[in-house]
Amino acid sequence: MSEYTTKCLIIGSGPAGYTAGIYTSRANLRPLMIEGVPGGQLMQTTEIENFPGYPEGVMGPAMMDDLRTQALRFGLETIPGEVTEVDFSKRPFKVKVNGGSHTVTADTVIISTGASARYLGLDDEQRYLGIGVSACATCDGFFYRNRVVAVVGGGDTACEEALYLSSLASKVYMIVRKDYLRASKYMQARVMQNEKIEVLFNTQTLGLFGDDNLEGAHLVRHQGTPDAENFDIKIDGFFLAIGHKPNTEVFKPFIELDEAGYVVTEGKTTHTNVPGVFAAGDVADPTYQQAISAAGMGCRAAIDAEHFLLMNV
């Protein structure tokens, strides 16, 4: 068993985590990061065109490698593994990694474990991930200009994604499991009035098809009833808009979470309800969920942690 002590422990290695690593390293806090999956969800992303500093675009893994290299340059130390237990009842905080194979004692903690997109659970989703399947219209919609796409979901997020994509794509299908939209009346009206959007009610996805790239979806209407009807649609993009699951389970005993499981932060800060514990990125942001906003929040968390240490250590 390995034991570590640090002024600042960063849990999670996405844009928020690595940015926090850059700032805390430059502040001479000698931070330690538990990386989990180095690079986070962006390791599954293909080309990124909306992160500043990459005028020609960049592949997700390459960008995350750049962020990691920059953080390591300033002295960030990393250990592999997943946090399996925390004790935030008193300072210094105690964290166990991989069931206790590593233990960390930390004066401050920055939680940047992100949020995982919810998928339907189809094998085809993984097959076409990054080459037709996406969980972020804002991130990937640009690649579907004048093409046909589908959005899965019937809530406000799905409607927002469909409306956004309608400004880019030639046609947008909305695949809705129920016979109604769960979105607000205002969002429903906007969707139904948009000539580019066709809502497929009472419809579920059975699978996706295509050779090298996504070409279409196998659907069923009124599944499990005598009126069940199987049919296909031709699409170039398949967007999941059925929510995200923040990676906060291990923190539940100590950290205040909202009803969806996101970390609650105080006002405009990154402070959690536990003094000395901060949160940054998608784990505390159900609204924007962009790499650049996560990075900015990582910067804020690092500064908050530095100020906390100046006042309390």
Q: Which residues belong to the active site? A: 136, 139-140
Whether 15 and 54 have beta carbons less than 8 Å apart is answered as no
Please give the structure tokens belonging to residue 189.
Answer: 């009206």
User: How far separated are the first and last CA of the chain, in Å rounded?
Assistant: 28
Which residue, chain included where needed, has tokens 């607000």? 184
Pairing of strands 197-200, 203-209: unpaired
Looking at the DSSP bridge assignments, the partners of residue 11 are 34, 111
Cα dihedral 298→302→308→313 (10° resolution) = 140
Pairing of strands 77-79, 32-34: parallel
Would you tell me how many other CB atoms lie within 10 Å of the CB of residue 140?
Answer: 23
Cα dihedral 237→247→29→62 (10° resolution) = -20
Would you tell me how many other CB atoms lie within 10 Å of the CB of residue 84?
Answer: 14
Please give the structure tokens belonging to residue 211.
Answer: 């050779």
**Spatial CB neighbours of 160, under 8 Å, sequence gap ≥ 6:** 187, 241
C-alpha span between 65 and 43 (Å, rounded): 9
Please give the structure tokens belonging to residue 237.
Answer: 């993009």
Closest of 6, 8, 26 to residue 70, by C-alpha: 26
Helix (H) or strand (E) holding 84: strand 83-87
